[in-house]
């Protein structure tokens, strides 16, 4: 029995030697070690299992102890010789035998382990395409750095191209040329599907490219009978029409999908109908609220959340509620609820992580008459039930609100011109104030590290490019007469365009680097129009985020800054020096983060407000006390003055003496304000204006004293 166990042990040792993997790239196998597996195989053949005999092999080892000892001694001697020759003993590793030798481990086969071959080159992200639609036809332009027309996509020269759409990942492209709706693969421009829909004016892909939604204007028959369904949903793979609906209004025409296409929703007669897994023949769920006006599905992964807006009526307030699909059991099942008055329409904006919604509530008419644009308010609603009204320091309309892709802050552009722009955190506290300027829009880069504040439309097209992390100004390019702005998916380039019908002259587009360099410019020929430009989208992670640059990148095109227009001056003032005068004083940028010391905690809104009031009262008391001390000092000095001293010189006119006294009092207050500013105290706007009047006051005082 002992010899049988010993034989099995040695046999297992030989097998472990044979299945040992090959040496790595940094270890060479010596000659004795390389032939060890073959020797063990020969020894294994020379030692058959116990109880079996082989022709010409003699008695089995188990029955011949002397033969077994001799076999063991020979094997040990060979192993010692191999070690002396330089082979390193390695632990046995599992593997599989193939053709009499040990196979490579799974890690090496999958390419995860080290390989002696050269390293694979890094994948270079593709250059995004720019689709251009206009009276010249439909074509695509290669993105930076070439800016040439793409040869893979054949230009559609028809002048009736009404709609274009990229898929979410940018792999598919669809357009309607007035005859058919075509779908092509962007990589090779191969035609995938073609639908006979000459009147389609809106196209949209589902998030996973499974469905194409098309919409055309709803029409009724001459006899007043109902028209045909005008909203079609097509299966992109098979070309089959999955479902047709009647959608009379262009507003919110397209169904809303979750990012994984597990849910699709439509607003139908004060109800939100939900379909699952693109099965449009069965309504899987319904959300019924009285007079549902609008809804928005949350982005991201499951579970999907729904934000629903119901306008107020008969004195009842409007409200927005957040639900988690499919829990629509009533108000108690809502994740959050926010009610408000003064809302004719709302805009709901989910952040990327689906944790909060910003609601811009607006009215068509401002009953106070303060604004031509109506009245707007900004509300914050979180899925954990928290809600708040975002306090905007400046009165006026809200032009734009946009979430940072990191979902932890948002930027609002608001107030009468010159408008303010402020970044808020999730507590609705201001983080950074960009001051005032001619702006009405804000755009975060795809990576969220750069923010562009711009003034388009009826403004001159001035842009401010900011580094969000350090809140440092990068560049200030000017894109005059621009009606469109979009970030390139690479996060480094932007496109501005002048499109018809907003403007029918000087149509064209420009591609910039965010450092302010104009890299490419194209203007359509005269009597031609450009209607739309659109970047090819890409999924997150295709383009890695890069460090922010402050030095302008080189460009072959000259700077596009226009010459400043000179203000009109009447003939009587043209020979006189120019005096600078502004209707509004621009407010500088300001960091609103609380400056924390050692162990200090940030103050709440109420505490900050009380602190400011206290400081203002304290400053007023100090100013009044200083004035009283000054009067007492003057009176005591006049009483204690010796009779031999020269009496104070007066003009003899009480009015002039009173003016001199008041001027000295104002100059004294200005000196105190200067001392406070030198000590690091932040002065108010009216206090800064007092300091600016010091020169005029000194001149006036000098004139009065010289007239004595």
User: Confidence class of residue 678 from pLDDT cuts 50, 70 and 90?
Assistant: confident
**Res 211: pLDDT:** 93
Checking if the pLDDT of 379 tops 90, the result is yes
Checking if the pLDDT of 263 tops 70, the result is yes
User: Tens of pLDDT along 117-142?
Assistant: 455 445 566 889 999 999 999 999 99
Which residue has better confidence, 692 or 221?
Answer: 692
**Res 110: pLDDT:** 39
Checking if the pLDDT of 544 tops 50, the result is yes
**Res 608: pLDDT:** 63
pLDDT over 90 percentage in the chain: 34
Q: What is the mean pLDDT of residues 442-463?
A: 92
Checking if the pLDDT of 37 tops 50, the result is no
**Res 651: pLDDT:** 58
Q: What is the mean pLDDT of residues 220-230?
A: 81
pLDDT over 70 percentage in the chain: 72
Rounded to whole angstroms, how far apart are CA atoms 8 and 549?
Answer: 70
Q: What is the mean pLDDT of residues 199-228?
A: 88
Checking if the pLDDT of 691 tops 70, the result is yes
Rounded to whole angstroms, how far apart are CA atoms 315 and 303?
Answer: 35
Which range is least confidently modeled, 64-68, 166-170, 199-203? 64-68
Starting at the earlier edge strand, list the strands of the sheet with 202-205: 202-205, 211-215, 231-235, 241-245
Token pair belonging to 40: 């063990």
Candidates 178, 173, 175, 204; CA nearest to 190 is 173
Checking if the pLDDT of 341 tops 50, the result is yes
Supply φ then ψ for residue 8, to 5 degrees.
Answer: -65, -40
In terms of C-beta distances under 8 Å and separation of at least 24 residues, what long-range contacts does 280-287 make, across chains too? 280/233, 280/242, 280/243, 281/243, 284/326, 285/325, 285/326, 285/328, 286/328, 287/323, 287/328
**Res 196: pLDDT:** 92
Checking if the pLDDT of 574 tops 50, the result is yes
Token pair belonging to 324: 């988690």
**Res 445: pLDDT:** 94
Please, what is the Cα angle at 77 between 74 and 80, to 5 degrees? 150
Which residue has better confidence, 110 or 370?
Answer: 370
Q: What is the mean pLDDT of residues 238-253?
A: 90
Please, what is the Cα angle at 200 between 276 and 525, to 5 degrees? 130
User: Tens of pLDDT along 505-531?
Assistant: 889 999 999 999 999 999 999 888 999
User: Confidence class of residue 235 from pLDDT cuts 50, 70 and 90?
Assistant: very high
**Res 602: pLDDT:** 54
Rounded to whole angstroms, how far apart are CA atoms 171 and 128?
Answer: 11
Rounded to whole angstroms, how far apart are CA atoms 471 and 592?
Answer: 11
User: Tens of pLDDT along 355-367?
Assistant: 999 999 988 877 7
Token pair belonging to 239: 């070309």
User: Tens of pLDDT along 618-639?
Assistant: 766 776 666 666 555 555 544 4
Who's near 218: CB < 8 A, 6+ residues apart?
227, 230, 246, 247, 248
Calculate the average pLDDT of the chain. 78
Q: What is the mean pLDDT of residues 675-684?
A: 79
Give the best-scoring range by mean pLDDT among 265-269, 496-500, 566-570, 673-677: 496-500
């Amino acid at each position: 029995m002992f010899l049988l166990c010993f034989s099995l042990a040695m046999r297992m040792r030989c097998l472990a030697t044979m299945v040992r993997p090959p040496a790595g790239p940094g270890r060479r196998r010596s000659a004795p070690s390389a032939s060890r597996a073959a020797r063990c195989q020969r020894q294994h053949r020379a030692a058959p299992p116990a109880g079996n005999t082989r022709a010409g092999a003699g008695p089995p080892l188990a029955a011949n102890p002397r033969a077994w000892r001799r076999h063991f001694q020979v094997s040990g001697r060979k192993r010692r010789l191999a070690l002396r020759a330089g082979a390193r003993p390695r632990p046995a590793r599992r593997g599989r035998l193939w053709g009499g030798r040990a196979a490579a481990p799974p890690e090496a086969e999958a390419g995860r382990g080290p390989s002696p071959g050269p390293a694979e080159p890094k994948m270079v992200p593709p250059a995004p395409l720019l689709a251009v639609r206009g009276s010249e036809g439909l074509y695509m332009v290669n993105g930076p750095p070439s800016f040439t027309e793409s040869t893979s996509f054949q230009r559609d020269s028809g002048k009736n191209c009404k709609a274009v759409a990229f898929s979410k990942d940018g792999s598919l492209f669809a357009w309607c040329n007035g005859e058919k709706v075509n779908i092509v693969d962007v990589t090779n421009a191969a035609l995938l599907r073609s639908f006979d829909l000459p009147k389609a004016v809106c196209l949209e892909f589902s998030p996973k490219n499974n469905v194409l939604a098309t919409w055309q204007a709803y029409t009724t028959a001459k006899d007043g009978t109902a028209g045909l369904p005008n909203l079609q949903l097509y299966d992109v793979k098979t070309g089959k029409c999955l479902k047709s609906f009647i959608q009379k209004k262009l507003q919110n025409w397209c169904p809303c999908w979750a990012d994984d296409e597990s849910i699709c929703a439509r607003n139908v007669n004060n109800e939100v109908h939900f379909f699952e897994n693109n099965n449009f023949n069965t309504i899987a769920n319904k959300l019924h609220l009285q007079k549902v006006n609008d809804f928005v599905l949350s982005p991201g992964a499951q579970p999907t959340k729904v934000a629903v807006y119901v306008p107020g009526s008969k004195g009842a307030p409007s409200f927005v509620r957040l639900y988690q699909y499919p829990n629509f059991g009533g108000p108690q099942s809502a994740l959050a609820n926010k009610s408000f008055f003064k809302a004719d329409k709302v805009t709901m904006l989910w952040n990327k992580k689906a944790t909060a919604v910003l609601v811009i509530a607006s009215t068509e008419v401002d009953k106070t008459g303060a604004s031509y644009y109506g009245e707007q308010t900004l509300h914050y609603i979180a899925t954990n039930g928290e809600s708040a009204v975002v306090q905007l320091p400046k009165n006026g309309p809200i032009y734009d609100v946009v979430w940072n892709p990191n979902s932890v802050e948002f930027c609002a552009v608001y107030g009468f011109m010159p408008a303010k722009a402020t970044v808020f955190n999730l507590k609705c506290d201001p983080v950074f104030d960009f001051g005032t300027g001619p702006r009405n829009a804000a755009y975060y880069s795809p990576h969220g590290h750069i923010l562009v504040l711009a003034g388009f439309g009826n403004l001159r097209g001035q842009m401010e490019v900011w580094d969000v992390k350090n809140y440092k100004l990068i560049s200030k390019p000017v894109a005059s007469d621009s009606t469109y702005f979009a970030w390139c998916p690479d996060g480094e380039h932007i496109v501005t365009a002048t499109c018809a019908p907003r403007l029918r002259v000087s149509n064209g587009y420009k591609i910039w680097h965010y450092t302010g360099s104009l890299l490419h410019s194209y203007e359509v020929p005269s009597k031609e129009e450009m209607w739309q430009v659109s970047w090819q989208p890409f999924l997150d992670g295709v383009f890695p985020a890069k460090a922010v640059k402050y030095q302008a990148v080189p460009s072959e095109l000259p700077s596009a800054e226009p010459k400043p227009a000179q203000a009109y001056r009447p003939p009587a003032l043209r020979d006189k020096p120019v005096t600078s005068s502004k209707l509004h004083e621009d407010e500088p940028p300001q960091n609103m983060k609380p400056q924390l010391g050692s162990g200090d905690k940030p103050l709440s809104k109420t505490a900050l407000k009380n602190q400011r009031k206290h400081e203002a009262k304290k400053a007023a008391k100090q100013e009044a006390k200083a004035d009283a001390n000054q009067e007492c000092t003057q009176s005591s000095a006049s009483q204690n003055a010796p009779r031999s001293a020269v009496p104070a010189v007066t003009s003899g006119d009480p009015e002039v003496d009173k003016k001199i006294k008041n001027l000295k009092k104002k100059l004294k207050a200005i000196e105190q304000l200067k001392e406070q500013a030198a000590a690091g105290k932040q002065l108010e706007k009216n206090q800064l204006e007092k300091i600016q009047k010091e020169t005029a006051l000194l001149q006036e005082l000098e004139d009065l004293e010289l007239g004595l």
